[in-house]
Amino acid sequence: MAQTAVLAELTDKQIQFGIKSAYPFRRFLQRYEKSGQITIWYPWYYVSVSVKMDTYLKKGMVYNDLVAVDCLRPVKERVSSYPVSSAQSIADGKILTSKIDETGAKEEAVDLIKGIVLSRNKLLKDYEIQAQACKLFYLKTFVVELKNRPRNEWIYIDEHFEAASKLQLRPEVLSYIQN
Amino acid sequence: MDEVTIGTWAWFWLVFFIVGTLGIGFYAMTKTKTDEDFAVARKSYGPYILILALASTIASGSTFMGIPGLAYDKGFPALWYPAIYPIGIYIGLILSVRLIKRAGDNFRSNSLPEFLGQRFDSDFLRVGFALLSLLLIYYVTAQVVAAATAFEVMLGVDYRLGVIVTVIVIGIYITIGGSHADILTDAFQGGLMLLIAILITVLFFLGTGTEGGGAAGINEAIAAQDASITWDNYFSPGDPIFGSLWLVILMFIAHLPFAMNPHIGNKAFALKDSAQLRKFLILAIPIGSILGFAVLGGLHARAVIGPELRPDAAIPALFVELFPPALAGFLGIAILSAIISTADGLFVSIAVIFSNDLYRKTFSKKIHPNKSQKEIEKTALNISRVATVITVFAAMWLAWNPPDFLAVLLWIGVGGIMSGAAGPLVIGSIWRRSTKAGAISSFLVGVISYAAMWLVIGWQNPFGAAGVCVLLASAVMVVVSLFTKPMPEEKLNEIFSPVRK
């Protein structure tokens, strides 16, 4: 069952930072101004992964890892914990629909951890990596509308993953708010 | 009782260093609290430890020996180098690393050659860049030469014995496994190097060992030897490297694609997320700049010791001259740290070229069509081990006869890689209109023109040669791309703003 992440509202400081990040070369007086904002609920799968591995120095190691898999882009991030969740209403914004299922998310999560384990253990002898639980979260993100600018130049701010960019670089969000 | 000599102290510190490094490594390997810590060491370290680990990868034998050696020989005009190179490297890094990280994540690339193949849908570029990256062996060789030279000057041992000792130390070092060991030993060495670079800078501005004191004292002492290399001379007329502003500009251009060297560019793949990437870029600039100040030691050595040294030995000799034997020996260990931590990263990069780019991604489909994915990955792992051993011996063989300038040796490899990478990787990362034909043409022109500069024209300025070839390859990339069919919009979106279908 999907859950929502508890995140604070967007502050003016975050908006300014987002505009500066997306338009780093615009001078102070020419910097764009906010004219509105849209709330977007963005889906991520959180997949817990179990790792068993032997190296030539230490055998029988077992640990669990956690990977967040973006449901609309082929992006995955290793994360340290699940988002703090609640039964918060998501009626106040637009909800993006996931384009992958649990199986796909698990495969990608395993792939990411496999790459890390292989690259960081020079004396690796054997390993087994398996996906365990998979949970869908809707993270609250924002589109900041800019005064007198076309939609594709608006700013998308994902505070949870500390990302800010022009909407033209986030076509999955742009196409959704155009509809 | 005889006074304890620098050689004795240097041996003492060498043993201390080896035992300390291996001790930290093995302690980390065996005493880690959880298996997760061993495998990926995720939550254990704050940013400062990781920054020191990064510093040790950036700094190499060239930082403490090759570049100061150029300054020792060519005087104040060589200061263009530390002024220029951090700016060039980090502009190039900022321009392309975000896209490479993002697209690398999307395509699940394990290396830069693999990314390049995916960016332009080209097996030729992947295999070509992988083979070109084997020139990194010269980079490894430069590290071995640097360490052996340090042994020769500070320990008084024969240069070739130094080569053998270096190879053994590196061989032991790279067998230390586990992320804790990796991070802790790199951070330990990075911290030493930053301290030494700061110490060299302070000593320079104090003018320690000169009559007048201060930087002015160093300048006066150099003027007494050769007035043409003092700080009144911005350039050295006739010099192939620092002869004119034009050559300095070429040096700047040559460093723009430096971060595309596989062992540096790969760091972007190891970062956890984009927030870390921002911190990585911001902190890399001051750290790189501080390490660049080591060049001042070359000028200091020239002022205090005179012109008779082999240039690459300037900093070790300066330590021997200025410090009591115990401290001089300890400072030499910082040089060894720089060398070993860089060589370690280079060995991993070369192993990846063989195991991933050449075997797993290219030849496994042809030579092992019936093997399962798991079997192929196991074979790839074994290939990387064999490749590491071969690289160690190849570096030893190449280092057997010391070159005149370490920096020049290093740049035989680096210049070739950068000339080939400038168009496809740097321009291809920031310019959507880049085409496959443009990338292949640029790669070939960059590599062939660089080889021609060395082998046919014989220009003795590796930075200048690389600068010209980078410009030429970039121009070819742009012109050929404009005259060839653009890549499909769908493919470009996959790279620049990927969305699931």
**Residues with Cβ within 8 Å of residue B373, at least 6 apart in sequence:** none
Q: Is B235 left (phi over 0), alpha (psi -120 to 50) or beta?
A: beta
Write down the pLDDT at residue B360: 82
pLDDT at B46 over 60: no
Interface test with B, best of A59, A110, A119 (most B CBs within 10 A): A119
Write down the pLDDT at residue B246: 84
B160 found inside a domain? yes
Lowest mean pLDDT among A84-88, B204-208, B265-269, B361-365: B265-269
SS3 A139: strand
Tell me the per-residue pLDDT of B31-45, one tens digit each, with 9 for 90 and over: 555 555 555 544 445
B488 found inside a domain? yes
pLDDT at A88 over 90: no
Domain of B207, CATH number, reads 1.20.1730.10
Kindly determine whether residue A121 and residue B348, on different chains, have CB atoms separated by under 8 Å: no
Chain A residues with CB under 8 Å of B108 CB are: 111, 115
**Residues with Cβ within 8 Å of residue A140, at least 6 apart in sequence:** A4, A5, A7, A39, A40, A41, A42, A93, A160
In whole angstroms, give the CA distance from residue B335 to residue B195.
11
Write down the pLDDT at residue B317: 86
**Which DSSP string do the residues of B306-354 spell out, in sequence order?**
-TTS-GGGHHHHHHHHHS-HHHHHHHHHHHHHHHHHHHHHHHHHHHHII
In whole angstroms, give the CA distance from residue B153 to residue B313.
7
B467 pLDDT band, cuts 50/70/90, is confident
pLDDT at B433 over 70: yes
Write down the pLDDT at residue B51: 66
Kindly determine whether residue B272 and residue A162, on different chains, have CB atoms separated by under 8 Å: no
B294 found inside a domain? yes
Write down the pLDDT at residue B28: 64
**Average pLDDT of A143-157?**
88
Structure token digits, residue B113 = 């050659």
Environment class of B372 (CB within 10 Å of its CB; exposed 0-12, middle 13-18, buried 19+): exposed
Tell me the per-residue pLDDT of A31-45, one tens digit each, with 9 for 90 and over: 788 888 888 889 999
CA of A90 vs chain B CAs: smallest distance (Å): 23
- Nearest by CB to residue A77, choosing from B179, B272, B377, is B272
The larger pLDDT score, comparing residue B51 to residue B323, is at B323
The larger pLDDT score, comparing residue A2 to residue B162, is at B162
pLDDT at B484 over 90: yes
Dihedral sign from CA coordinates of B109, B114, B118, B123: negative
CA of B369 vs chain A CAs: smallest distance (Å): 21
pLDDT at A49 over 90: yes
For residue B482, how many C-alpha atoms fall within 13 Å in the half-sphere facing its CB? 5
Kindly determine whether residue A57 and residue B275, on different chains, have CB atoms separated by under 8 Å: no
pLDDT at B435 over 90: yes
> Using an 8 Å Cβ cutoff, are A74 and B106 in contact?
yes
B1 found inside a domain? no
In whole angstroms, give the CA distance from residue B319 to residue B10.
11
Lowest mean pLDDT among A49-63, B278-292, B417-431: B278-292
CA of A160 vs chain B CAs: smallest distance (Å): 10
B312 found inside a domain? yes
Kindly determine whether residue B500 and residue A57, on different chains, have CB atoms separated by under 8 Å: no
Chain A residues with CB under 8 Å of B498 CB are: 73-75
Environment class of B463 (CB within 10 Å of its CB; exposed 0-12, middle 13-18, buried 19+): buried
Tell me the per-residue pLDDT of B331-376, one tens digit each, with 9 for 90 and over: 777 777 777 777 777 777 787 788 878 888 788 888 888 888 778 8
**Average pLDDT of B470-476?**
93
In whole angstroms, give the CA distance from residue B142 to residue B60.
9
B56 found inside a domain? yes
**Which DSSP string do the residues of B394-407 spell out, in sequence order?**
HHHHHHSS--S-HH
| Count of the separate structural domains present in chain A | 1
Give residue A173's domain range: 3-178
Task: Write the CA distances from A139 to A68, A75, A159, B105, B137, integer angstroms.
Answer: 11, 15, 9, 21, 47
In whole angstroms, give the CA distance from residue B392 to residue B82.
30
Kindly determine whether residue A118 and residue B108, on different chains, have CB atoms separated by under 8 Å: no
Kindly determine whether residue B177 and residue A169, on different chains, have CB atoms separated by under 8 Å: no
R_g over Cα of chain A: 19
A105 pLDDT band, cuts 50/70/90, is very high
In whole angstroms, give the CA distance from residue B416 to residue B447.
6
| Count of the separate structural domains present in chain B | 1
B479 pLDDT band, cuts 50/70/90, is very high
Tell me the per-residue pLDDT of B96-120, one tens digit each, with 9 for 90 and over: 666 666 656 665 566 778 888 888 8
Give residue B113's domain range: 6-496
Residues of A with CB under 8 A from a CB of B: 51, 53, 55-58, 61-65, 71-78, 80, 99-100, 111, 115-124, 161-163, 168-172
pLDDT at B140 over 90: no
In whole angstroms, give the CA distance from residue A95 to residue A138.
8
Question: In this complex, how many residue pairs, one in chain A and one in chain B, have their CB atoms less than 8 Å apart?
Answer: 102
Kindly determine whether residue B178 and residue A116, on different chains, have CB atoms separated by under 8 Å: no
Chain B residues with CB under 8 Å of A116 CB are: 40
B501 found inside a domain? no
**Residues with Cβ within 8 Å of residue B244, at least 6 apart in sequence:** B235, B237
B339 found inside a domain? yes
Write down the pLDDT at residue B151: 76
Write down the pLDDT at residue B1: 40
CA of A127 vs chain B CAs: smallest distance (Å): 10
